[in-house]
Chains A and B, each alone.
Chain A
Amino acid sequence: MLILGRRLARTAPRPAALLQGLPYLPWVWAGAGFVALLGTAVLGVLVGPVHIGLGTVVQALVAPIPWFHAAAVDPGQASILWSLRIPRVVLGAIVGGMLAIAGAAYQGVFRNPLADPYLLGAAAGANLGATLAIAFAPGSTLIGVNVVPLAGFAGAGLAVAGAYALGQTVTGLRNTTGLILAGVAIAAFFNAVQTYIQQAQTSNIRQVYSWILGRLVTAGWDGVLLVLPYVVLSVAVIVLHRRLLDALSVGDDEVTSLGISARRVRLIVVVAATLGTAAVVAIAGTIAFVGIIIPHTVRLLVGRSYRVVIPLSVLFGAAFLMLADTAARTVAAPAELPIGVITAFVGAPFFIVVMRSTRAAAL
């Protein structure tokens, strides 16, 4: 199916199309994305220390539907499903989809294949915010919400806003290099402060490390509900910019001569991508690699237009992170591995295989 899909995507002319060679989402790949999403979700719900069969899962899923009379599910198992596994799987899908689409968006606005959602300091800012909260306000809450994710969210937003402001004062945002360098400077500074605090507060070092490496530990739906509004807004804005992200690929001057303000597109997309990234990072920590590997895999397999890369990145990013999380909590059970370790450990070799098999022609 892989080869068939590629053939279809690259060569099949659209029937009765006025223009040949326009990018479109191949149904094979869209279908494969949904199958992957569903498959990894089911796997994530089934796998765990307590054995729960597929039948029970289906019964538990249909039980809340009022006119559907299914056999009663054991309350213990129902509770494990509804308050542990299903929210965790859903959170994994949201985090993975968000990081992948944010990565694709950053690569588009910076016209840089190495861009990831953390390029402008979102990860460094979130890490510093969370470290400060863990070190100086452990266990505190603000309006009923744990202060650590709030501090992470604020840190990520502050770092990116700082990088943007710095980039503007230095180069007037005439090019993206100034902005990227400002992001590097901000990230380095935030990392230095974070490391200093972490070294000074060794009693919390494990907690800080676990936060930085990322995890999807969640009880109930709080985490999901907390990030969902930001992620929905962010994804919607990025999806609406698909055509403009393609247009940006001809460079700032030429896109300006087409009547499109490159700066405005860049600002809106960066703000949207950062908002979503900050939200998921605040809940799940700084999970690495998803934002780079997923968009590039989609590019290598299906094509480079953002009209294709953006929607497929969401589907495959979500599936990939659900799978990685299932692995993270099973390979060393009962202990849990940090999910960032799994995404890099599995993701890097997979990416190399994809690169080799497509000869990286599309990079």
Chain B
Amino acid sequence: MSNVVLANVGIAYDSDVVVSGLDLSISSGEWLALIGPNGAGKTTILRAIARLVAYEGDIRIGDQAVAAMSGRELARRVAMVMQEPHMPDGMSVSQYVLLGRSPHLTYFGKEGRRDHRIVADILERLSLDALAARPLDHLSGGERQRAAIARALAQQAPILLVDEPTSSLDVGRQQEVLELIDALRAEQGLTVIAAMHELTLAGQYADRLALLVGGKLVALGGPAEVLTEPAIASHYHAHVQVLSLNGSGRAVVPVRSHPPKVAP
């Protein structure tokens, strides 16, 4: 049971309302992309599901309220990849990924052979095995992103929250990371909820898109329903053309409303 249901969720930082009246239901095994302009509340919603911010309303995983779970229980159900994960200098990749086993250990517990085996398998699956002993501060951007995903996978949680998985990666690395998440979703039946700012990529990988503006849900549905020129123009204040790609989704291409003069 790894479907996630948000019912009338409201989130405020002090007196600033960031998200209000949000109803959203994500089925087990689905990839839902949260899209929307900066400040729409995408990250905040992910943080609420991981119970890193206080919220009003109800968030449920399966038939259990997130608010009623213990920290360890929640971490066994939900793993989160932060947008800018903090990677302590000098810590090795294997030590970092092994931290993902924490929800399966008791307070004073120590990782055992089984935990080491799980982490070794994940490192191999993510092609990080050769980097296992390397300090995190010696990794490239793409390798760091993979290490962060590996730590989340080590939690063996059925729900993966990913905050801007492609920010600061080049186009090749972006595809690599998203293909990896999609492959893992297929292999392990993960439910993926990702905050994404790249609309084209969101449309290509997610089953459904939830468009948020100012903390409210304004559109929800498949890429063809949500990624429309009028919707993007009105909510992002952007001039775009949405191109239908043969069989591989839709491309959202920015266009200049006053194109520069081209020299003859």
Residues of A within 8 A of B (CB): 13, 17-23, 240-241, 243-244, 246-247, 249-251, 253-254, 256-261, 303-305, 362
Cβ of B195 under 8 Å from chain A: no
Cβ of B72 under 8 Å from chain A: yes
**CB closest residue in chain B, given A240:** B108
**A18 engages B134 (CB within 8 Å):** no
**A260 engages B71 (CB within 8 Å):** yes
**CB closest residue in chain B, given A241:** B108
The smallest C-beta distance from A354 to any residue of chain B, in angstroms, reads: 16
13 CB contacts below 8 A, A to B, read A18-B120, A19-B98, A20-B92, A243-B105, A243-B111, A246-B99, A250-B85, A250-B88, A254-B86, A257-B79, A259-B72, A259-B102, A304-B89
Cβ of B133 under 8 Å from chain A: yes
Residues from chain B with Cβ under 8 Å of A247 in the complex? 99, 102
Q: Name the contact of B155 in the complex, choosing from A21, A23, A258, A261 (C-beta under 8 A).
A: A258
**A260 engages B102 (CB within 8 Å):** yes
**CB closest residue in chain B, given A13:** B133
**CB closest residue in chain A, given B102:** A258
Cβ of B95 under 8 Å from chain A: yes
**A251 engages B116 (CB within 8 Å):** no
Q: Name the contact of A21 in the complex, choosing from B78, B86, B95, B109 (C-beta under 8 A).
A: B95
Q: Is the interface of B mostly helix, strand, loop or mixed?
A: mixed
Closest 3 pairs between A and B when the two form their complex, measured CB to CB: A21-B133, A259-B75, A21-B92
Residues from chain A with Cβ under 8 Å of B99 in the complex? 246-247, 250, 258
* Interface set, chain B 53-93, CB cutoff 8 A to A: 70-76, 78-80, 82, 85-93
Cβ of B199 under 8 Å from chain A: no
Q: Give the residue among A17, A243, A304 with the most B Cβ atoms within 10 A.
A: A243
**A19 engages B88 (CB within 8 Å):** no
The smallest C-beta distance from A190 to any residue of chain B, in angstroms, reads: 32
Residues from chain A with Cβ under 8 Å of B88 in the complex? 249-250, 304
Q: How far is the CA of A23 from the CA of B70 in the complex (A)?
A: 29
Q: How far is the CA of A116 from the CA of B60 in the complex (A)?
A: 43
Digitize B211-225: 1 where CB-to-A-CB distance is under 8 Å, 0 elsewhere.
Answer: 000000000000000
Q: Name the contact of A258 in the complex, choosing from B47, B92, B103, B123 (C-beta under 8 A).
A: B103
Residues from chain A with Cβ under 8 Å of B116 in the complex? 17-19, 22
Cβ of B119 under 8 Å from chain A: yes
**A23 engages B95 (CB within 8 Å):** yes
Residues from chain B with Cβ under 8 Å of A17 in the complex? 116
Q: Name the contact of A19 in the complex, choosing from B71, B90, B94, B100 (C-beta under 8 A).
A: B94
Residues from chain B with Cβ under 8 Å of A258 in the complex? 75, 99-100, 102-103, 155
With A21-B134, A22-B98, A257-B50 as given contacts, are A249 and B91 in contact (CB-CB < 8 Å)? Answer: yes
**A22 engages B71 (CB within 8 Å):** no
11 additional contacts, CB 8 Å, given A19-B94, A258-B100, A259-B73? A18-B120, A19-B123, A20-B133, A21-B93, A243-B111, A251-B86, A257-B80, A257-B82, A258-B99, A259-B102, A304-B90
Q: How far is the CA of A260 from the CA of B52 in the complex (A)?
A: 12
Q: How far is the CA of A305 from the CA of B96 in the complex (A)?
A: 11
**CB closest residue in chain B, given A249:** B88
**B82 engages A259 (CB within 8 Å):** no
Cβ of B113 under 8 Å from chain A: yes
Q: How far is the CA of A19 from the CA of B121 in the complex (A)?
A: 10
With A18-B113, A250-B85 as given contacts, are A303 and B94 in contact (CB-CB < 8 Å)? Answer: no
Q: How far is the CA of A20 from the CA of B133 in the complex (A)?
A: 5
**B94 engages A22 (CB within 8 Å):** yes
Q: Name the contact of B92 in the complex, choosing from A22, A250, A254 (C-beta under 8 A).
A: A22
The smallest C-beta distance from B89 to any residue of chain A, in angstroms, reads: 8
Q: Give the residue among A21, A260, A303 with the most B Cβ atoms within 10 A.
A: A21
The smallest C-beta distance from A111 to any residue of chain B, in angstroms, reads: 9
**A20 engages B94 (CB within 8 Å):** yes
Q: How far is the CA of A250 from the CA of B108 in the complex (A)?
A: 18
Q: Name the contact of B117 in the complex, choosing from A18, A243, A362 (C-beta under 8 A).
A: A18
With A21-B94, A22-B98 as given contacts, are A259 and B76 in contact (CB-CB < 8 Å)? Answer: yes
Residues from chain A with Cβ under 8 Å of B235 in the complex? none
Q: How far is the CA of A156 from the CA of B98 in the complex (A)?
A: 37
The smallest C-beta distance from B82 to any residue of chain A, in angstroms, reads: 6
**B90 engages A362 (CB within 8 Å):** yes
Cβ of B125 under 8 Å from chain A: no
The smallest C-beta distance from A286 to any residue of chain B, in angstroms, reads: 31
Q: How far is the CA of A246 from the CA of B87 in the complex (A)?
A: 12
